[in-house]
Structure 1
Amino acid sequence: MRDPGLPSLDQLRVFIAVIDHGGFAHAARALHRTQSVISYTIANLEEQLNVELLDRSKRKPTLTEAGKALLADARAVSLKVDGMRARAKALSAGLEAEVSLVVDVMFSTCKLVRILHAFQKEFPTVSMRLRIEALGAVTQLVADGTCRIGISGWMPGTQDVIERQACGFVTMVPVVAPDHPLAQIDGIIPSAVLREHTQLVLTDRSTLTKGQDFGVLALRDWRLGDLSSKHALLRNGIGWGNMPLEFVQWDLDAGRLVQLEIAEGSSFSFPLFVIRRGDEEPGPATRWLIQQFLDLDQPGIPTPLNAREESELAAHLAQAHAYHGLSDRPPAAQPDGAQAPAAPAAHAADPLQAVVDKIQATPAAAKAAPNAANVTPQPVAKPAAADTAGGDDKFIYYLQAGAFREVADAENARAKLALLGFEATISDRSTDTGVLHRVRMGPYNQVEAMNKARSKLSENGVDVAVVRNQK
């Protein structure tokens, strides 16, 4: 048997049209060709591939087993070519192929995701490279040309080549765990007392701030490489430190952290700037992105979040809090008659980096709603009854967002869940009709935690099915 030949792109698109439009005649009308030309094209494609793609024994042609398998390949090739043409068109018009961005760890995650959403819609062919750094590392990456744009705090001794424009500020607050000795002091805490307790501070991975300290008051300090580690230690009573108010608001409301009243002030503003090299002319996508950050700057007025963004922020913080909580730490004492705050559902990791990876790794065409033929509908389950005490629940719960025939559709669904702050996994299941790629969140050991996550998903328009397994 001879090897398959090389089909043309036109042949593949005619094949797709016959299936999508329901027959030769309908495909001919959609493509503005005669039916005989459509039939001849399909016959040539089958000859090229050495397989029969369509069963013509009935009035309406249907896919053979080989046709079902090769149709997915034909669609993938067509989408890839369309994406390549769109990218070439953008490049010929002067649009960058890639934009590189480095953001200070203090910057609002919710606002960053909002801007990335808009960037993806405005420039679907432009790749994004995102770095999250602290202090002078942001400026250094821009200065050495690794990143074209930076969102940075104010840095002394910045090179003259770096241009900066104000883009708002972050409110910072000093916090400790409720059982820390500093939390037991009423009124304003004197600086002399504050200095006797270990302070947690971020370290600079660059050399720009070598020998300089910012906001360090204590005689003893711990230097940490990232904000999440600092947050975890603070929640578990190891030292005190300044944190972005947005990041710890959930903890403050729930009593897991306490804001300190110190002589230097109970809060301060951390100014942020958009920075770039002045000797490089930014392209259209870079200029657009810079403007989005500048539009956030409203002096004295924080940019309001819409209902969805507030929900995304709550989900993101709940995930971070669950991830960094230590299981052997007793809960903080509650006032008489007060009920301890419910623990957030446990998830695996901070979703921010996954958000950017998924946004950029998935082709723009694949981000549209999955084809109905490729999705196995999920039943809408009734809310699980919380009739079992959390510690006595005999089941493990999962939330399933869908089961897809195409891996790209499953990855797309998982990326969208990551944008809402939910970590999902993809598992495969073999069926009589092929392999299904299931997108699930969990496990949840208590029905209350599962229902809480399910409620947040529902608020964001995500319908899920409840899967219950015996422990």
Structure 2
Amino acid sequence: MSSKDLDIETLSIDQLQVFMAAAEHGSFSAAARALGRTQSLISYAVQRLEEQVGLVLFDRAGYRPRLTEAGQALLPRARRIVGEVSAFHALSRGLSAGVEAEVCITVDAMYPMCLLLRALLDFRDRWPAVSPRVLVGNMGAAVEQVLDGHSLLGLVNPVATQAPELELRPAAFITMVPVAAPHHPLARHEGELLTEDLRDHVQLVLTDRATRLSQPDRGVFSSQTWRLNDLGAKHSMLLAGLGWGGMPEHMVRDDLTAGRLVQLPSPYWDPHRTLPMSVAYRRDARLGPAAQWLATHLSSLVDEAVPTPGAQRVQKHAAA
């Protein structure tokens, strides 16, 4: 039978599932037990599939059937088709029950990525048919994404308290620390750094893209400032010694431990002061079941310790 003679409408998901079971369990009898069918039905389904595609999928010459080259080539495709059909059914069931197809969330760059990843892993397990869309913003810009309806949820900083339209739930508390590269003049300064010590050196300051909700400068002591709208770029410039500035402690903990950055001693930076982050959504928004679950779950992580990526890697290898 040539490929032109193949009528794809005669193929069934059940045939592909039988094909997959036989390949994964190593025999038709084991596949029959796994699927709760007789061995003869499994053999017939595989034979019928081979006739329809015009290829031998299993070599039956030995004690156990073995996949042929054609069978090995088609097995990943069969898995993909069955997986897509399963996802189609799951999504259709969810939509009929009012579950969203997608949940969009904007995350302030200060929010610990490790907590977001943990939440998304749990979200995937709980809502496998719902696709998250994740955007990243800074300060007021992240809040405006939620206010304007571009995102249903937000993980935002205290500038969100300026918007009475938003419902806010505690999500995390971020400790900010002043840092500089070890070869920076401020890193070699002896004793506490006072205003007159800080003002003569370039300070790297995160700026806000927001057009309506802007956050006033906080912790700016230098008369020379370089403004950046990307926290990753600020981190790289700090490592390069282009200036000093404040960073979330969880983002530079590995750098401080390795000596790539130095925490600056200054009485103006209270080590016990934290930056509160919140889960935000419009009070008039209609959150579907998945969005409601995600908002609640993110809020439940508020008291979780914030490990660094390096610490996570060490824990992973130790567990292995």
Q: Deviations over 1:174-201 (max 9, x none)?
A: 1222332223333333323322221101
Match of 1:236 in 2: 240
Is it true that 1:166 corresponds to 2:166 in the alignment? no
| Structure 2 unpaired stretches of 5+ | none
- Return closer, same or farther for 1:240/1:50 CA change in 2, 3 Å cut-off: same
Structure 1: which amino acid aligns with 2:149?
G
Q: Distance in 1 between matches of 2:46 and 2:28?
A: 9
2:305 matched residue in structure 1? 304
SS in 2 for 1:151: strand
The 8 Å contact of residues 166 and 271 in structure 1, kept in 2 or not, is answered as yes
Letter matched to residue 154 of structure 1: P
Distance change >3 Å, CA 288–CA 210, structure 1 → 2? closer
Does the 8 Å CA contact 1:166/1:294 hold for their aligned counterparts?
yes
CA distance in 2, matches of 1:80, 1:165: 36
TM-score scaled by length of structure 1 = 0.61
One of 125, 133, 136 as aligned partner of 2:140:
136
Q: Secondary structure at the match of 2:5?
A: coil
Match for 1:72: what amino acid? P
Equivalent residues of 2:139, 2:157 under 8 A apart: yes
In the alignment, what sits opposite 1:321? none
- The structure that is helix-richer by fraction is 2
Deviation of residue 283 (structure 1)? 1.6
Match among 313, 329, 335 for residue 309 of structure 2: 313
1:273 has 2:273 as partner: no
- The partner residue of 2:159 within 152, 155, 160 is 155
Instruction: Please give the secondary structure, in 2, of the residue aligned with 1:282.
Output: coil
Q: Relative to structure 1, is the Cα distance of residues 55 and 246 closer, same or farther in structure 2, using a 3 angstrom cutoff?
A: closer
Would you say 1:20 and 2:24 are equivalent positions?
A: yes
Which letter does structure 2 place at the counterpart of 1:42? V
Structure 1 unaligned segments of length 5 or more: list them.
317-419, 421-454, 462-471
| Residue among 179, 183, 186 paired with 1:179 | 183
**Residue aligning to 1:458:** 317
2:5 to 3, 6, 13: 3
Q: Which amino acid aligns with 2:221?
A: L
- Which gives a bigger RCO, structure 1 or 2 (Cα 8 Å, sep 6+)? 2
Partners of 2:216 and 2:292 in 1: CA distance: 33
Query: 8 Å contact 1:259–1:266 — kept in the other structure?
Result: no
* Contact in 2 for aligned 1:191/1:263 (Cα 8 Å): no
SS class of match (1:43): helix
- Kindly state the Cα deviation for residue 134 of structure 1 after the two structures are TM-superposed: 1.0
Aligned length, in residue pairs? 315
In 2: Cα distance, 1:171 partner to 1:157 partner = 19
Read off the aligned partner of 2:18 and give its amino acid letter. Answer: V
Give yes or no for the alignment of 1:295 onto 2:300.
yes
Distance in 2 between the 1:135 and 1:19 partners?
A: 53
Checking the alignment, whether the CA contact within 8 Å between 2:140 and 2:159 is kept in structure 1 is yes
CA distance in 1, matches of 2:144, 2:217: 17
Residue 54 of structure 1: aligned partner: 58
RMSD, aligned α-carbons: 2.6
Identity of aligned residues (%): 42
- Contact 1:135-1:152 within 8 A present in 2 as well: yes
Q: Which deviations, in whole Å up to 9, do the C-alpha atoms of 1:212-245 show, x marking residues without a partner?
A: 4333222121011211221222222221111111
Q: 1:252 aligns with which of 256, 273, 287?
A: 256
Question: Residue 142 of structure 1: CA displacement?
Answer: 0.6
Displacement after TM superposition at 1:149 (Å): 0.9
SS, match of residue 201 in structure 2: coil
Q: Larger deviation: 120-129 or 148-157?
A: 148-157
> For residues 456 and 62 of structure 1, what CA distance do their matches in structure 2 show?
40
Shift of 1:156: 6.8
